[in-house]
């Protein structure tokens, strides 16, 4: 069994860059810490530290051990923080899965009805649709936001409801969104560099069909799973991009973007999916109820 006290002393020595500084930080004798670290090296069968000037440096084996120790003690601190928080105030935890295909900018707007909840602890997971459905069925998630409804699967017993359907807008940097481009939109998309969601997003097939319908062959220079990342690259001048009305509310957070044109005939849909247990979660019910009130 790994001695975590020995690992902690090694971690402190590595962080402080020497035994003396670690001993001062821990208010312990240098010899005590040195002995504990040597015991750790013997138990692992590898030298972890080597002399470097007036201090020490990590060996290759030490770098591997330090990376894991960093992870372990960072999580340990998190446990202490979470226990302290749980003991001092009630926590309203909501674990949400965000499917790769939906606009993350729109997701923020859809979660807005619960963001002011006292004691809220919001946990967001991003992943592929099927992977998130498995986590939902295993009650690791309370709700999933996706661009499609829950498939019929008797074993999973999932329910879903469309909670948003919003039209699309196109944005881009000022260097590309000029008066002539706005006046000739959407035909100007054939001349501008275009950023699009990746092909697995439901919205992408809608856009491809629209391009064919209006006779535009866009010059696609980038494809992104994350709409927020797409907006950042657009703001840096890479190209113009589509976003739903919901997501457009947060586009203003990315400086330098201008409206190119509107697509009232195109829509992005977002569905909320939940398990039998999730339907009783008060925050899930509030999100769905708020969407019903808006529709």
Where does the pLDDT of residue 279 fall: very low under 50, low under 70, confident under 90, or very high at 90 and above?
confident
Handedness of CA 247, 248, 252, 256 (dihedral sign): positive
pLDDT at 265: 87
Contact (Cβ atoms closer than 8 angstroms) between residue 106 and residue 164: yes
pLDDT of residue 196: 94
Which pLDDT band holds residue 173 (cuts at 50, 70, 90)?
A: very high
pLDDT-derived band at 85 (thresholds 50, 70, 90) equals: low
Give the pLDDT confidence of 251-260 residue by residue, as tens digits.
Answer: 766 788 999 9
Of 11 and 279, the structure prediction assigns the larger pLDDT to 11
DSSP conformation class of 189: G
- R_g over Cα of the chain: 26
- DSSP-assigned states of every residue in 70-94: HHHHHHHHHHHHHHHHHHHS--EEE
CB neighbours of 104 closer than 8 A, spacing ≥ 6?
98, 126, 226, 227, 228, 247
**pLDDT of 53 above 90:** no
DSSP 8-state symbol, 276 = T
CA 168 to chain centre: 23
Q: What is the mean pLDDT of residues 82-94?
A: 75
Residue 89, pLDDT score: 63
Q: What is the mean pLDDT of residues 199-203?
A: 81
How confident is the model at residue 128, as a pLDDT? 85
What pLDDT was estimated at residue 144?
Answer: 94
pLDDT (tens digit per residue) in 124-147: 998 888 889 888 888 889 999 988
- Give the pLDDT score at 137: 84
Q: Do residues 242 and 166 lie in contact, with contact meaning Cβ atoms separated by under 8 Å?
A: no
The pLDDT of residue 254: 73
Q: Residue 59: is its pLDDT beyond 70? A: yes
**pLDDT grade, residue 113 (50/70/90)?**
very high
pLDDT band of 64, cuts 50, 70, 90: very high
Residue-level pLDDT at 229 = 86
Share of the chain above pLDDT 70, in %: 95
Confidence of residue 240 (pLDDT cuts 50, 70, 90): very high
Q: Which of 250, 245, 95, 249 is nearest to 168 (CA)?
A: 245
What is the distance between the alpha carbons of residues 10 and 38, in angstroms, rounded to a whole number?
Answer: 9
The total number of residues shown for the chain amounts to: 295
268: pLDDT strictly greater than 90: no
Confidence of residue 207 (pLDDT cuts 50, 70, 90): very high
Cβ partners under 8 Å of residue 192, min gap 6: 172, 176, 181, 218, 219, 239, 240
C-alpha distances in angstroms, 60 versus 33, 48, 54, 66, 165?
Answer: 21, 7, 20, 10, 53
């Amino acid at each position: 069994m790994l001695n975590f006290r020995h690992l902690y002393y090694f971690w402190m020595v590595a962080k402080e860059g020497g035994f003396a500084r670690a001993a001062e930080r821990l208010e312990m004798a240098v010899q005590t810490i040195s002995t504990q670290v040597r015991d750790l090296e013997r138990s692992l069968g590898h030298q972890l530290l080597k002399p470097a000037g007036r201090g020490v440096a990590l060996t290759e084996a030490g770098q591997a051990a330090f990376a894991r120790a960093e992870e372990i003690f960072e999580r340990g601190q998190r446990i202490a923080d979470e226990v302290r928080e749980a003991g001092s105030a009630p926590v309203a935890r909501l674990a949400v899965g965000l499917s790769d295909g939906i606009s993350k900018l729109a997701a923020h707007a859809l979660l807005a009805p619960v963001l002011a909840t006292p004691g809220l602890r919001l946990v967001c997971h991003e992943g592929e649709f099927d992977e998130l459905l498995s986590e939902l069925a295993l009650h690791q998630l309370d709700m999933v936001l996706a661009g499609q409804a829950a498939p019929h699967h008797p074993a999973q017993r999932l329910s879903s409801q469309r909670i948003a359907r919003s039209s699309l807008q196109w944005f881009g940097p000022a260097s590309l969104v000029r008066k002539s481009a706005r006046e000739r939109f959407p035909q100007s998309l054939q001349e501008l560099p275009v950023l699009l969601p990746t092909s697995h997003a439901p919205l992408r097939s809608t856009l491809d069909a629209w391009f064919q319908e209006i006779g535009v062959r866009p010059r696609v220079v980038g494809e992104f799973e994350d709409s927020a990342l797409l907006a950042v690259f657009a703001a840096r001048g890479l190209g113009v991009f589509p976003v739903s009305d919901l997501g457009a509310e947060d586009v203003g957070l990315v400086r330098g973007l201008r409206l190119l044109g509107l697509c009232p005939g195109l829509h992005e849909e977002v569905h909320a999916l939940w398990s039998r247990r999730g339907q009783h979660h008060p925050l899930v019910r509030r999100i769905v109820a708020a969407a019903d009130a808006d529709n």
